[in-house]
Amino acid sequence: MSAAMPPAMDPAAAGEMAREAAAWCSLHGLVVGDRADQRSATVPGVGLVHAPFSLLPAHFPESFWRQACELAPVFNELVDRVSMDGNFLQNALSKTRQVDDFTSRLLEIHRKMMEINKEENIRLGLHRSDYMLDSETSSLLQIELNTISASFPGLGSLVSDLHRSLIKQYGTSLSLEHKRVPANAASTQFSEALAQAWSEFNIDSAVIMMIVQPEERNMYDQYWLSKHLQDSHGITTIRKTLSQVEAEGQVLPDGTLLVGGQKVAVVYFRAGYAPNDYPSEAEWSARLMMEQSSAVKCPSISYHLVGTKKIQQELAKPNVLERFLKSEEIDKVRKCFAGLWSLDDEYIIKTAVEKPELFVLKPQREGGGNNIYGLDLRETLVRLQKEGGDALAAYILMQRIFPKASPAYLVRGGVCHEGLAISELGIYGAYLRNKDKVVINEQCGYLMRTKVSSSDEGGVAAGFAVLDSLYLT
């Protein structure tokens, strides 16, 4: 049995434990809106179901865990430095913008800010860097870096609590120790960073505005942050959709952002990362208005762009990290980069067409369910190449990572399924800078997501994965 293998458990015992665990979720707010209830995405407190979870934490070697944690402050710095280089962002994305309207709209806002020399004194990043352990090379490889709407800081912390509690109850029969599940304070640490940004902004009457989708089943993850902001910091959070911001918002001549008559200190985006979030010009004009204001944006347009897959691929090219990081940091970061290619490379296209199972084709999208694998990947490449033009510039190609599969019990909608599963580790990072003063640069807890190994994609909200925590080995 390998180190990554959780202890065997018979299905009856697992079923009993799953019922206890689902009850724990309901009692502790580890919940999401239930698809079966139409109102669950718009009316809080209606149609709740436990968040999908893994019954026991995924086993994970401590050395890789430490490596991932150490990378968090370095990636925080990297995002900040790259964001300062507006020309780098514009140039790196110049071909993508020709063929991807969404990226083009983001770049347009960014260009406008460059033109007016927009200063962002207070810079807040709440990121999540995602990794998988590649079994072929036995290395920790980055999947992507999320700089906008990194989800599950609220619920992720609770999954660690759930697992510790289950291990306390059942651990002796399973030979597990609850102390091997690392503490996970993502929820309070993200709130703390938002509160600090609010405090640097320094207007007591101002609020934090969370930008949300009109329909959001993951609202309780977001409400956890608002709760901490209120309880621990006395700060009010208002929730607005992009279209509400357009209707109710204005920027005063001194840069103050007013929404519904309230001054906004920090705009925290939990929407705005996908084309669907901008069904009309109203949403784009809201995004531009907020960017033009003096409110702290989490993320600013430049932080958002740094998190695109195209920039990930550009940073992996030789001699690019050198522009932004010190040499000891470069080594750490490069070590976790998987193979990444732009599609102007004939040789790599040919290789991917021959062996599509070794690659992932990624468009400039977020939120899961957008990548192309296997035979679809081959077909897409062949078709786009035939069509000619710049269509290929909408995508990047990535080395496929193969994590080792282990048996797991995944619980969704009160039903416990056993299966071979693989996990993806996300490490949260918070960064706050006011002019030259770095106020926060830290790792803030983690999120493990586990999915059956036969599924290519990984999003929890998208329905592929379940929430998990980790068990250090």
- Respond yes or no: is residue 362 known to be catalytic: yes
Q: Which residue number, 50 or 362, has a Cβ lying nearer to ligand ADP?
A: 362
Q: What is the distance between the alpha carbons of residues 354 and 169, in angstroms, rounded to a whole number?
A: 51
Task: Pick the stretch among 146-154, 156-164, 168-176, 429-437 that binds Mg ion (CB under 5 A).
Answer: 146-154
Q: What is the distance between the alpha carbons of residues 441 and 433, in angstroms, rounded to a whole number?
A: 8
- Respond yes or no: is residue 367 known to be catalytic: yes
Q: Which residue number, 88 or 395, has a Cβ lying nearer to ligand ADP?
A: 395
Contact with Mg ion (CB under 5 A) among 146, 160, 191, 312: 146
- Respond yes or no: is residue 151 known to be catalytic: yes
Q: Is 131 annotated as a binding residue?
A: no
Which long-range CB contacts under 8 A does 355-360 form with residues at least 24 apart?
A: 356/381, 357/400, 358/399, 358/400, 359/397, 359/398, 359/399, 359/400, 360/397, 360/398, 360/399, 360/400, 360/456
Q: What is the distance between the alpha carbons of residues 154 and 468, in angstroms, rounded to a whole number?
A: 13
C-alpha R_g of the chain: 22
Q: What is the distance between the alpha carbons of residues 323 and 338, in angstroms, rounded to a whole number?
A: 20
Which residue, 213, 256, 261, 210, is CA-closest to 235? 210
Among 54, 445, 449, 458, which one carries the catalytic annotation? 449
Q: Which residue number, 146 or 406, has a Cβ lying nearer to Mg ion?
A: 146
Residue 268, beta-bridge partner list:
210, 298
Q: Is 383 annotated as a binding residue?
A: no
Q: What is the distance between the alpha carbons of residues 352 and 399, in angstroms, rounded to a whole number?
A: 10
Among 240, 362, 404, 433, which one carries the catalytic annotation? 362
Q: Which residue number, 246 or 366, has a Cβ lying nearer to Mg ion?
A: 366
Judged by CB under 5 A, the chain residues 349 through 368 that form the site for Mg ion are 366
Among 309, 310, 404, 433, which one carries the catalytic annotation? 309
Q: What is the distance between the alpha carbons of residues 321 and 129, in angstroms, rounded to a whole number?
A: 17
Contact 337, 137 (CB under 8 A): no
Q: Is 371 annotated as a binding residue?
A: yes
Q: Is 97 annotated as a binding residue?
A: no
| 113-142 footprint of Mg ion as x/- string (CB under 5 A) | ------------------------------
Q: Is 373 annotated as a binding residue?
A: yes
Residue nearest to ligand ADP (CB): 458
Which residue, 140, 94, 69, is CA-closest to 314? 94
Amino acid of residue 230: Q
Q: Which residue number, 93 or 245, has a Cβ lying nearer to ligand ADP?
A: 93
Q: Which residues bind ligand ADP (CB under 6 A)?
A: 130, 143-144, 338, 360, 362, 365-368, 370-371, 398-401, 424, 457-459
- Respond yes or no: is residue 404 known to be catalytic: no
The pair of structure tokens assigned to 223 is 């409400």
Among 40, 83, 151, 184, which one carries the catalytic annotation? 151
Helices H / strands E in the chain, number of each? 15, 20
Q: How far is the CB of 148 from ligand ADP (least distance, A)?
A: 10
Residue 426, beta-bridge partner list:
130, 447
Task: Pick the stretch among 143-151, 356-364, 371-379, 439-447 that binds Mg ion (CB under 5 A).
Answer: 143-151
Q: Is 460 annotated as a binding residue?
A: yes
Among 260, 367, 419, 459, which one carries the catalytic annotation? 367
Q: What is the distance between the alpha carbons of residues 61 and 470, in angstroms, rounded to a whole number?
A: 9
| Binding-site residue ranges for ATP | 144, 309, 362-371, 373, 398-401, 424, 451, 457
| Binding-site residue ranges | 128, 144, 146, 148-151, 216-218, 222, 270-273, 309, 362-371, 373, 398-401, 424, 449, 451, 457, 460-461
Interface contacts to Mg ion, rule CB under 5 A: 146, 366
| Binding-site residue ranges for Mg(2+) | 144, 146, 366
What residues act catalytically? 128, 144, 146, 151, 309, 362, 366-367, 449
